[in-house]
Amino acid sequence: MSQDPHELFESWLAEASAAEPNDAEAMTLATVGGDGAPSARMVLLKGHDRGGFAFYTNSESRKGTELAATGRAALLFHWKSLRRQVRIEGRVGPVGDAESDAYFASRSRDARIGAWASDQSRPLASRAAFEARYEKLVAEFEGRDVPRPPYWRGYRVVPDRIEFWSDRPHRLHERRLFTLCEDGGWQEGLLYP
Protein backbone atom coordinates (compact mmCIF):
# COMPACT_ATOMS: atom_id res chain seq x y z
CA MET A 1 0.00 0.00 0.00
CA SER A 2 2.92 2.36 0.63
CA GLN A 3 3.33 5.10 -1.97
CA ASP A 4 4.70 8.63 -2.00
CA PRO A 5 1.74 11.01 -1.45
CA HIS A 6 3.11 13.61 -3.88
CA GLU A 7 3.36 11.03 -6.67
CA LEU A 8 -0.13 9.75 -5.86
CA PHE A 9 -1.48 13.33 -5.94
CA GLU A 10 0.14 13.96 -9.35
CA SER A 11 -1.46 10.78 -10.67
CA TRP A 12 -4.90 11.71 -9.34
CA LEU A 13 -4.60 15.31 -10.62
CA ALA A 14 -3.70 14.01 -14.10
CA GLU A 15 -6.78 11.75 -14.07
CA ALA A 16 -8.94 14.65 -12.85
CA SER A 17 -7.57 16.95 -15.56
CA ALA A 18 -8.76 14.44 -18.15
CA ALA A 19 -12.15 13.75 -16.50
CA GLU A 20 -13.35 17.00 -14.92
CA PRO A 21 -15.25 19.35 -17.24
CA ASN A 22 -13.77 22.48 -15.61
CA ASP A 23 -10.90 23.44 -13.35
CA ALA A 24 -9.46 20.19 -12.02
CA GLU A 25 -7.03 22.51 -10.17
CA ALA A 26 -9.86 24.16 -8.19
CA MET A 27 -9.44 23.65 -4.47
CA THR A 28 -11.10 24.85 -1.32
CA LEU A 29 -8.75 26.88 0.86
CA ALA A 30 -9.71 26.92 4.54
CA THR A 31 -8.24 29.40 7.00
CA VAL A 32 -9.04 30.50 10.55
CA GLY A 33 -9.51 34.06 11.77
CA GLY A 34 -8.23 35.57 15.00
CA ASP A 35 -11.63 34.91 16.58
CA GLY A 36 -11.33 31.19 15.77
CA ALA A 37 -13.99 31.36 13.05
CA PRO A 38 -13.21 29.21 10.00
CA SER A 39 -13.44 30.61 6.48
CA ALA A 40 -13.37 28.69 3.19
CA ARG A 41 -13.24 29.73 -0.44
CA MET A 42 -12.24 28.32 -3.83
CA VAL A 43 -8.82 29.12 -5.31
CA LEU A 44 -6.78 27.55 -8.10
CA LEU A 45 -3.70 25.40 -7.60
CA LYS A 46 -0.90 27.03 -9.59
CA GLY A 47 1.94 24.69 -8.75
CA HIS A 48 2.73 21.49 -6.91
CA ASP A 49 5.97 19.74 -6.07
CA ARG A 50 7.59 18.13 -3.03
CA GLY A 51 7.86 21.63 -1.56
CA GLY A 52 4.08 22.02 -1.37
CA PHE A 53 0.97 23.34 -3.08
CA ALA A 54 1.09 26.92 -4.43
CA PHE A 55 -1.64 29.49 -5.12
CA TYR A 56 -1.69 33.27 -5.52
CA THR A 57 -3.77 36.05 -3.99
CA ASN A 58 -3.87 39.51 -2.45
CA SER A 59 -1.96 39.32 0.85
CA GLU A 60 -4.20 42.08 2.28
CA SER A 61 -7.38 40.06 1.63
CA ARG A 62 -9.15 38.16 4.39
CA LYS A 63 -7.37 34.94 3.45
CA GLY A 64 -4.02 36.70 3.24
CA THR A 65 -4.31 38.21 6.71
CA GLU A 66 -5.55 34.92 8.18
CA LEU A 67 -2.67 33.01 6.59
CA ALA A 68 -0.19 35.52 8.00
CA ALA A 69 -1.74 35.32 11.47
CA THR A 70 -1.86 31.53 11.83
CA GLY A 71 0.70 30.16 9.39
CA ARG A 72 -1.59 27.17 8.71
CA ALA A 73 -4.20 26.21 6.13
CA ALA A 74 -6.19 23.30 4.78
CA LEU A 75 -6.92 22.48 1.15
CA LEU A 76 -9.59 20.25 -0.36
CA PHE A 77 -9.77 18.94 -3.91
CA HIS A 78 -13.11 17.34 -4.84
CA TRP A 79 -13.32 15.57 -8.17
CA LYS A 80 -16.97 14.58 -8.44
CA SER A 81 -16.60 12.81 -11.80
CA LEU A 82 -13.98 10.48 -10.27
CA ARG A 83 -15.72 10.23 -6.90
CA ARG A 84 -12.50 11.22 -5.16
CA GLN A 85 -11.19 13.91 -2.90
CA VAL A 86 -7.84 14.91 -1.41
CA ARG A 87 -7.52 16.75 1.91
CA ILE A 88 -4.28 18.56 2.74
CA GLU A 89 -3.31 20.27 6.00
CA GLY A 90 -0.08 22.04 6.80
CA ARG A 91 2.05 25.08 7.35
CA VAL A 92 1.80 27.93 4.88
CA GLY A 93 4.29 30.56 3.90
CA PRO A 94 4.89 33.05 1.12
CA VAL A 95 6.33 32.07 -2.23
CA GLY A 96 9.50 33.98 -3.17
CA ASP A 97 9.28 37.29 -5.02
CA ALA A 98 10.86 35.90 -8.20
CA GLU A 99 8.32 33.08 -8.38
CA SER A 100 5.44 35.47 -7.65
CA ASP A 101 6.72 37.88 -10.33
CA ALA A 102 7.00 35.07 -12.88
CA TYR A 103 3.49 33.80 -12.28
CA PHE A 104 2.03 37.34 -12.26
CA ALA A 105 3.71 38.05 -15.61
CA SER A 106 2.09 34.92 -17.07
CA ARG A 107 -1.42 36.24 -16.37
CA SER A 108 -3.38 38.16 -18.97
CA ARG A 109 -2.88 41.92 -19.02
CA ASP A 110 -6.51 42.44 -17.95
CA ALA A 111 -6.06 40.11 -14.96
CA ARG A 112 -2.89 41.94 -13.94
CA ILE A 113 -4.72 45.28 -14.04
CA GLY A 114 -7.59 43.67 -12.12
CA ALA A 115 -5.17 42.79 -9.32
CA TRP A 116 -4.33 46.51 -9.00
CA ALA A 117 -8.01 47.52 -9.15
CA SER A 118 -9.29 45.19 -6.43
CA ASP A 119 -9.08 45.90 -2.71
CA GLN A 120 -9.95 42.24 -2.24
CA SER A 121 -12.28 41.38 0.66
CA ARG A 122 -12.90 45.02 1.60
CA PRO A 123 -16.30 46.71 1.24
CA LEU A 124 -17.20 47.99 -2.24
CA ALA A 125 -19.63 50.89 -2.68
CA SER A 126 -20.86 49.71 -6.09
CA ARG A 127 -19.93 47.58 -9.08
CA ALA A 128 -19.79 50.78 -11.15
CA ALA A 129 -17.11 52.22 -8.83
CA PHE A 130 -15.01 49.08 -9.26
CA GLU A 131 -15.36 49.12 -13.05
CA ALA A 132 -14.48 52.84 -13.16
CA ARG A 133 -11.37 52.16 -11.07
CA TYR A 134 -10.39 49.36 -13.44
CA GLU A 135 -10.84 51.59 -16.53
CA LYS A 136 -8.76 54.34 -14.90
CA LEU A 137 -5.94 51.83 -14.36
CA VAL A 138 -6.22 50.59 -17.95
CA ALA A 139 -5.53 54.17 -19.04
CA GLU A 140 -2.69 54.62 -16.51
CA PHE A 141 -0.90 51.47 -17.68
CA GLU A 142 -1.43 52.22 -21.40
CA GLY A 143 1.74 51.46 -23.34
CA ARG A 144 3.71 50.04 -20.43
CA ASP A 145 4.12 46.83 -18.48
CA VAL A 146 1.81 46.04 -15.56
CA PRO A 147 4.07 45.14 -12.60
CA ARG A 148 3.03 42.91 -9.73
CA PRO A 149 1.43 44.91 -6.90
CA PRO A 150 3.47 44.72 -3.68
CA TYR A 151 0.52 43.12 -1.85
CA TRP A 152 -0.09 40.38 -4.46
CA ARG A 153 1.88 37.18 -3.91
CA GLY A 154 1.99 33.43 -3.86
CA TYR A 155 1.58 31.12 -0.90
CA ARG A 156 2.70 27.53 -0.50
CA VAL A 157 1.01 25.01 1.77
CA VAL A 158 3.65 22.57 3.02
CA PRO A 159 1.66 19.50 4.03
CA ASP A 160 2.01 17.50 7.21
CA ARG A 161 -1.18 15.50 6.48
CA ILE A 162 -2.54 14.35 3.11
CA GLU A 163 -5.66 12.20 2.93
CA PHE A 164 -6.87 10.44 -0.21
CA TRP A 165 -10.58 9.55 -0.18
CA SER A 166 -12.19 7.19 -2.71
CA ASP A 167 -15.87 6.39 -2.99
CA ARG A 168 -16.75 2.72 -2.46
CA PRO A 169 -20.07 0.83 -2.56
CA HIS A 170 -22.31 0.80 0.52
CA ARG A 171 -20.50 3.90 1.88
CA LEU A 172 -17.51 1.69 2.74
CA HIS A 173 -15.20 4.39 1.38
CA GLU A 174 -11.42 4.14 1.37
CA ARG A 175 -9.44 6.76 3.30
CA ARG A 176 -5.64 6.67 3.02
CA LEU A 177 -3.86 9.06 5.39
CA PHE A 178 -0.23 10.10 4.95
CA THR A 179 1.35 11.82 7.97
CA LEU A 180 4.71 13.58 7.78
CA CYS A 181 7.34 12.08 10.07
CA GLU A 182 10.12 13.98 11.86
CA ASP A 183 12.71 12.52 9.44
CA GLY A 184 10.80 13.97 6.45
CA GLY A 185 9.36 10.63 5.35
CA TRP A 186 5.69 9.71 5.29
CA GLN A 187 3.77 7.23 7.44
CA GLU A 188 0.72 5.77 5.75
CA GLY A 189 -2.40 4.35 7.36
CA LEU A 190 -6.11 3.86 6.82
CA LEU A 191 -9.03 5.65 8.47
CA TYR A 192 -12.56 4.34 8.96
CA PRO A 193 -14.94 6.09 6.58
Domains identified in the chain and CATH numbers: 5-108+150-191 (2.30.110.10)
Distant-in-sequence, close-in-space partners of 188: CB < 8 Å, separation ≥ 6: 1, 2, 3, 5, 176, 177, 178, 179
Q: Is 171 a catalytic residue?
A: yes
Is residue 72 within 8 A of residue 91, CB to CB? The reply is yes
Task: Provide the 10 A C-beta neighbour count for residue 164.
Answer: 20
Q: Write out pLDDT tens, residues 10-64.
A: 999 999 999 998 999 999 999 999 899 999 999 999 999 999 999 999 999 999 9
Is residue 2 within 8 A of residue 188, CB to CB? The reply is yes
The alpha carbon of residue 142 and the mean position of all alpha carbons in its chain are separated, in whole angstroms, by 31
φ, ψ dihedrals at 10, nearest 5°: -60, -40
Q: Write out pLDDT tens, residues 58-104.
A: 999 999 999 999 999 999 999 999 999 999 999 999 999 999 999 99
Which listed residue (87, 161, 171, 176) is catalytic? Answer: 171
